[in-house]
Amino acid sequence: MKIALVLFDGVTFLDFIGFYDVIYRLRGFDRTQDTTWDICGLSGEIADELGLTVKVPRIRPDLSEYDMVFVPGGMGTRKLRYDEAFVGWLKGAEKADYLVSVCTGSLLLGAAGFLQEKRATTHPRAYELLEPYCREVVPARIVRDGNVITAGGVASSIDLGLYMIKLLVSGGAAEQVKEQIDYPYRMQGVVDMDSDSAPPE
């Protein structure tokens, strides 16, 4: 499993870090121990919406090389969805096994055309912004429709990471990670269009 973690100016870092802190633990399980990831973007340094800066190790990689592409949200997504260079680059992920977003990262997946005829979610305050891009906005915490998995507001990034661990490894693995990060909450509001499965616990 090779994962691209996309960053950009105006990102909400909790969107990114909540998912990253969970998903990197895939390497602790036999089935996914060969998982690798790259932090990617269009420039060597980005600033979040509060001004915190971080280095971006991989600049403009070919996203078709990745099995999973993750896009966080943030106020920067409002303008970035109209940025032809960024959206054109993101379109390279069209054949990824999993296209994953949290919060308004789904607006960027939508701008790249990945949500056509898909059901998806985003931050509850951005449902109207998402509507033009998808078949239906589902007011849920996590929505899976085929290979597209979208999550709601900022804190749902942790639940999204746990959902992916359950999907890729097992429910038991997700429980182990919850113990590691001292996460006592039961995941709620998961809508799986493929299996109508119960929310991961």
List residues with catalytic annotation.
Answer: 103
- Tell me 125's DSSP state: G
Query: b/e for 33-60, b at 16 or more Cβ within 10 A?
Result: eebebbbbbbeeebebeeeeeeebeeee
| 154 DSSP 8-state letter | T
To which residue do tokens 């296209």 refer? Answer: 99
DSSP letter at 184 equals: -
The span from the CA of 68 to the CA of 183, in Å, is 24
What is the three-class DSSP state of 5?
A: strand
Question: Which strands form 2-6's sheet, in the order they lie side by side?
Answer: 58-59, 36-41, 2-6, 68-71, 98-102, 148-151, 142-145, 190-192
Query: Is 89 within 8 Å of 107 (Cβ atoms)?
Result: no
